Amino acid sequence: MSKKDLTEEDIKLRFITPAIINAGWKNEHIRMEYYFTDGRVIFQGNIHARQTGKKADYLLFHAANKPLAIVEAKDNNKPLGGGMQQAMEYAQILDIPFAYSSNGDGFLEHDFLTGKETELSLQQFPAPDTLYQRLIKAKQLSGEALKIVEQPYYSDPYTYEPRYYQRIAVERTIEAIAKGKNRVLIVMATGTGKTITAFQIIHRLKATGKKKKVLYLADRNILIDQTMAQDFKPFKKVMTKVQGASIDSAYEVYMALYHQLVSNEEGIDDPFKQVQPTFFDLIIVDECHRGSAKDDSAWRKVLEYFNTATQIGMTATPKAETGANNLDYFGEPIFTYSLLQGIQDGFLAPYRVTNSYISIDLQGFKPDDDEKDLLGRDIAQRLYERKDIGRDIAFTKRREIVAKRITKMLKQIGRMTKTIVFCTDIEEAETMRSLLVNLNTDLCKKDARYIMRITGDDNVGKKQLDNFIDIDQPYPTVVTTSELLATGVDCKTCGLIVIDKEIGSMTEFKQIIGRGTRLRTDKGKWHLEILDFRNATAKFKDPKFDGDPEPPQGKSGKPYTIPEEPSSVVSEPHVKYLVEGEKIAITTEIVSILGEDGKTMRTESITDFTRKQIRKRYATLNDFVKNWTEAERKKVIVDELKNYSVLVDAVREKNPALAHADIFDVICHVAFDQPPVTRHERANNVKKRNYFAKYEGIAREVLEALLDKYADYGILNLEDSDILDTAPFNKIGKPQKIVKFFGGLDKFEQALKELENEIYKVA
């Protein structure tokens, strides 16, 4: 057989793999068919699927979780560098210095350290140590710095292998610190594993003996508790939570709220000053994006006191605003992994937005002269706009409409969907809780915790927070809040976020959306629904939503100085008018879904979108029919169309007339305006042509049953390799026995292929 006749898999088996092994790469350092993304989740209607993830043919490691090279293979009909552009793309994503392409004749090497490309024979593939020495020489790593960089990752039977972007964040941080950098900023979208990344950084730096005392700062108790119980559990014996004003010097890892370490009372020293400024060697600030002067000054005072320590800031939302600029303090991010990247890679949930526009919000409200509210108070004369609703004025009719729409949404997506309702303030959150209870009495009767308010002033609600974030606890299910759940709460199964408050900053918006961006497909959560009454989701269109923050106006580049705390001023109690409101209604709704580019939101129908996407792949009906007919397995085409975000079942869901149509006919109808044919019609056409006449006995019985299976379940069921294990075939015997009635496996597969051809003989 000629080399040109070999498949890509043959080329890998006979030429590429032996060349790599002969160069000294051991089996444990070679990963083949290495998927480094999960594949983007696509959904239409209630139908979900995954696109194909990114996969490297070979990933070569110098040590565990430390890849050095990527190799892309092609068959021998392709040029030596036929896979180079893909290899380079993947190498850049994975932050790997060496990329190779091979067609079995040799290798083409691209060295990202020098920018050079070199052709190599099969015998010239570099040894592991050769590539490693080239890497450390280019990075100028030696001595103590090299020892730090070479520290291994923590690993035990319960530890997940770091995802590729977590590994990059760890490696870049460790290398920067090894080279003497003392301030580092890491930007990772909510739900992408900042704390497990922090754990690996701490573990590796502690293992060097250079960082013995570690301080981990957060601003919410639940962030500390979650981190200690989950990702930081291996530190259990050497870790303590700082309680009150006491810092026990016997531990190695200290978990603290930065508010606890700073005194708010005049004349009383800050608790963190009870230890020397050199006490901590490493400090990590989680969620270092808080925007108020008070919050900023708290953690900055701690960091400036322990200024000899290496300091790492971690955030999902880097800020570049005057007086609240973590970029000024930590510098430019050493690594960024955005929400868009997380969705594209299939690690985060895509979202669907329902914008619900209410008449009073659009028109505004101006009271009549001398008009009083429901509590008998004179309403101040001015125009009340949407931004005032819930803060300066509330409408009972509007509250009821919002509660009814939330309930309707829950009935559409599943009433046990974990839901967070963001309200303007605590009063609105309590009112919304009560309204929702009365609209869902059947489920509240089953468990009173079905709907709860969780706000900072309510201990009963806060005690249920752990149950809300527990993926195995159904209650509480729907929670109303104002601020408490906006940041840090790791509710992996939150499937609905309701926004009925004004959101001023991009940081707050990102944090709120971040409560629902985690994927838990094992628990049925494939995407996030957002019900927006305030048009907050217009921020999705802002380039800064998934981009880098712009520097604040007037940024001088001078060192940041801590702003003074505002003086305490006694102000008048805030007045919120309560009005019933007349003729208030939802005037319009717009449902949109994240587009293919991951940036724009599209509002077109599933049918129109599917037509457009299919025609991107198949320009004409003949083009599609030819590919369908020639496909060895129809599933290949169905999977390929998923990569174009085409879900045939979603089209059927929206078009009941296509419920029993064949996949082939759904595509032909939607994309090329062909009349749909049902599976039963196609099956009957086969029977009318007397196709089975050439078979007899059990063989004919099996083929007739296979055709019936097709009519009931479709072509993919017919192609299932386990179909002969199901009824009615299992009554005849095992698959090995059944194929003998056809003269063997090859002839059975030939008969099955002929049956498929008969099914599609008349399109």
DSSP per-residue string spanning 164-214: HHHHHHHHHHHHHHHTT--EEEEEE-TTS-HHHHHHHHHHHHHHTTS---E
Residue 592 belongs to some domain of the structure: no
What's the confidence (pLDDT) of residue 76?
97
CA–CA distance, 402 with 589 (Å, rounded to integer): 13
Partners of residue 529 on adjacent β-strands: 352, 496
Interatomic CA distance for residues 509 and 486, integer angstroms = 9
How far apart CA 77 and CA 86 sit, in angstroms, is 17
Please say which residue of 635, 662, 677 terminates a domain: 677
Q: What pLDDT score was predicted for residue 269?
A: 76
Question: Total structural domains in the chain?
Answer: 5
d(CA 692, CA 102): 48
Dihedral sign from CA coordinates of 8, 12, 13, 16: positive
**Pair (711, 669) in one structural domain:** no
- Average pLDDT along the chain, 763 residues, taken 10 residues at a time: 93 98 97 97 91 97 94 97 98 98 98 98 98 97 95 90 97 97 94 94 95 91 88 96 86 90 72 91 81 55 92 80 63 93 95 95 94 96 96 98 98 97 96 98 98 90 90 96 72 95 89 91 95 94 64 36 36 83 92 80 84 94 94 92 91 89 95 94 92 91 94 93 91 92 93 93 65
The label of the residue with tokens 């890509």 reads: 8
Pair 505, 518 in one domain: yes
Among 86, 121, 138, the domain-final residue is 138
Residues 153/303, Cβ–Cβ less than 8 Å? no
- As a whole number of angstroms, the distance between CA 474 and CA 467 comes to 8
Q: Is residue 742 part of a domain?
A: yes
Do the domain assignments include residue 596? no
Q: Compute the distance between CA of residue 263 and CA of residue 42 in angstroms, rounded to an integer.
A: 49
**Cβ-count burial of 630 within 10 angstroms (0-12 exposed, 13-18 middle, 19+ buried)?**
exposed
Structure tokens at 28: 């444990």
State the CATH number of the domain containing residue 47.
Answer: 3.90.1570.30
Which DSSP symbol is given to 163? P
Same domain, 150 and 104: no
For residue 599, tell me if it sits in a domain.
Answer: no
Cα separation, 566 vs 587, in Å, equals 43
Q: How far apart are CA 551 and CA 292, in angstroms?
A: 17
Are both 305 and 451 inside the same structural domain?
no
Residues 441 and 538 in one domain: yes
* Residue type (1 letter), 621: L
**CATH number reported for the structural domain that contains residue 202 in this entry:** 3.40.50.300
- Asked, as a colleague might, if the bond just before 318 is cis with ω within 30 of 0, I would say no
Give the integer Cα–Cα distance in Å for 502 and 264.
30
In a domain? residue 42: yes
My answer on whether 112 and 166 are in the same domain is: no
281, 310 Cβ separation under 8 angstroms: yes
Q: Tell me the angle at which helices 679-688 and 697-713 cross, rounded to the nearest 10 degrees.
A: 150
Residue 194 sits in the same domain as residue 307 = yes
Sheet holding 282-286, edge to edge: 239-241, 253-257, 214-218, 282-286, 310-315, 183-188, 335-337
Which whole-number Å values give the CA distances from 746 to 502, 558, 706, 710, 739, in the listed order?
66, 77, 17, 21, 9
- Is 271 domain-assigned? yes
Token pair listed for 417: 């969907």
Asked whether the bond before 474 is cis by omega within 30 degrees of 0, the reply is no
For residues 503 and 246, give the distance between their C-alpha atoms in angstroms, rounded to a whole number: 38
Residue 259, both tokens? 């508010």
Q: Which pLDDT does position 264 carry in this prediction?
A: 67
For the record, the structure tokens of 476 come out as: 């509480």
Residue 45: what are its φ and ψ, rounded to 5°?
60, -125
The predicted structure's pLDDT at residue 572: 57
Cα angle at 341 between 337 and 342, to 5 degrees?
85
- Indicate if 650 and 703 belong to the same structural domain: no
Q: Under the phi-then-psi rule, with left for phi > 0, alpha for psi from -120 to 50, and beta for the rest, what region is 535?
A: left
Give the single-character DSSP code of 369: T
Taking the CA atoms of the chain, what radius of gyration do you get in angstroms? Answer: 31
Task: Choose among 356, 366, 294: nearest CA to 591.
Answer: 356
566 within domain boundaries: no
Q: In terms of DSSP bridges, do strands 55-63 and 30-35 run parallel, antiparallel, or are they unpaired? A: antiparallel
Statement to judge: residues 492 and 541 lie in one domain: yes
Q: Are residues 165 and 270 in the same domain?
A: yes
**Residue 729 lies in domain:** 680-759
3-state SS class at 478: strand
Is residue 704 one of the residues assigned to a domain? yes
Give the residue from 629, 661, 677 where a domain finishes: 677
CA distance 313 to 293: 17
- Closest C-alpha among 49, 118, 87 to residue 643: 49
Tell whether 65 and 205 lie within a shared domain.
no
Q: Check if the beta carbon of residue 280 is closer than 8 Å to that of residue 306.
A: yes
Contact 249, 269 (CB under 8 A): no
Say if residue 450 is in the same domain as residue 554: yes
Give the pair of three-digit tokens for residue 659. 């419920």
